[in-house]
A = this chain, B = another copy of it.
Amino acid sequence: MARVTMRDVAKEAGYSVATVSRVLTGSRRVRPDVVQAVREAQERLGYRTNQLASALRRQSTATVGMVVPQIANPFFTALVQAVERSLHRSGHGLLLCDGEESPEVEAERVQMLLSRQVDGLLIVPYHAERSAASIREAAEEIPVVQLDRVVSGAETDSVAVDNEHGMVQVIRHLASQGYRRLGFVGAEPTNSTAAERLQAYLSHAGEVGADNTERVWLGDFSTSWGQQAGAMLAATGQVDAVICANDLIALGVLDAFAEHGNHGTRARTGKRPAHGRNRTSGQPRLRVPEDVAVTGFDDIAFATLIRPTLTSVRQPVDELGAEAVRALLSRLSRTDGRPRKIRIQPDLVVRQSTAR
């Protein structure tokens, strides 16, 4: 249990700690026989470097911090995974924090990471304005890369997809399938992705039908908001295509549509309701994609597991993560240069939910 230190190895090997350090880090040539002796002593004692002490002396922890708004969101999970891999590949550790969808918690986590002396920070900011202050503060001390979302007024590198381009693809695709009465179920534009997707919809939906830009409903990026909106849409039936600002919303909408006219998840006893329009709950049953199309954004893994499978805009998470790590690590060596804003083009993935 008594931690073995470099002193112990040095004594065991019959050399000084300086020499042991040199053997271990390879920072200078050491005579082969000495290397041998040190290595054996290390082996014998089961010595492992204390990264804390090393980091303190070197002024670098080989650790980067990451803050996401909500780990449970599968898109962020995928992003974290991609980042984790990239990072470990280059010998860095990841200190992960959940911002719990709160600017206060987020700010606190950033402080915590700074005081742990992480070498760099990867952040998916929760809020376009309210996250700016702590990001700016962090950026004064260490390299920061904003990922997926960008706040206004913090001069850092950033990596995100081209949301407008993704949204345009969705709209064009729906139009080509003959859907005309589009609607947008999005999130309040309190962060850049929500804002950009909304803006893109507003700018381009008019090309398909003039009144499309009027059918916009905003909540947040959650399935429960999607369910709410979906229930409303099923009741009023004012659209033939629902464009959702992310997959979670889309899953909620689909869930609401499935629920509708098929009341009570539990009361389903044996026979299925007759096909087509029925009235079990006084509303027309909405069939996807025949009556209405639904699209998502992100392309999380579950998009292919629900029925109908979900048409979505794929965010290339591996690439996003790798790019963000690359940007961060390159800042670690060269501090110079103005912020690089990297945008990656996403692709539309067409599946059942829009295949009229």
A residues bordering B, Cβ < 8 Å? Answer: 1, 3, 48-53, 55-56, 61, 63, 71-72, 74, 77-78, 80-81, 84-85, 88, 93-98, 100, 109, 111-112, 114-117, 140-141, 223, 251-252, 254-255, 258, 265-266, 268-270, 272, 275, 287, 290, 301-302, 304-309, 350-352, 355-356
Tell whether, in the assembled complex, residue A72 and residue B81 are in contact, meaning their CB atoms are under 8 Å apart: yes
| Contact status of A355 and B98, CB under 8 A, knowing A48-B114, A49-B115, A258-B307 | no
In the complex, the chain B residue whose C-beta lies closest to that of A307 is B258
Copies of this protein in the complex: 2
Shortest CB-to-CB span from A139 to chain B, Å, is 11
Tell whether, in the assembled complex, residue B48 and residue A56 are in contact, meaning their CB atoms are under 8 Å apart: no
Which of B56, B115, B350 contacts A56, CB < 8 Å?
A: B56
Interface of A is mostly: mixed
| Contact status of A352 and B265, CB under 8 A, knowing A95-B95, A306-B305 | yes
Chain B residues closer than 8 Å to A85, beta-carbon distance: 98, 100
Chain B residues closer than 8 Å to A306, beta-carbon distance: 305-307
Query: Given the complex of chains A and B, what is the CA–CA distance between A356 and B49 in angstroms?
Result: 61
Chain B residues closer than 8 Å to A350, beta-carbon distance: 266
Which of B93, B269, B352 contacts A355, CB < 8 Å?
A: B269
Tell whether, in the assembled complex, residue A96 and residue B84 are in contact, meaning their CB atoms are under 8 Å apart: yes
Which of B61, B111, B141 contacts A52, CB < 8 Å?
A: B61
Shortest CB-to-CB span from A70 to chain B, Å, is 8
Shortest CB-to-CB span from A28 to chain B, Å, is 22
Tell whether, in the assembled complex, residue B77 and residue A72 are in contact, meaning their CB atoms are under 8 Å apart: yes
Chain B residues closer than 8 Å to A1, beta-carbon distance: 140-141
Query: Given the complex of chains A and B, what is the CA–CA distance between A85 and B105 in angstroms?
Result: 11
Which of B74, B98, B141, B272 contacts A81, CB < 8 Å?
A: B98
Query: Given the complex of chains A and B, what is the CA–CA distance between A302 and B303 in angstroms?
Result: 11
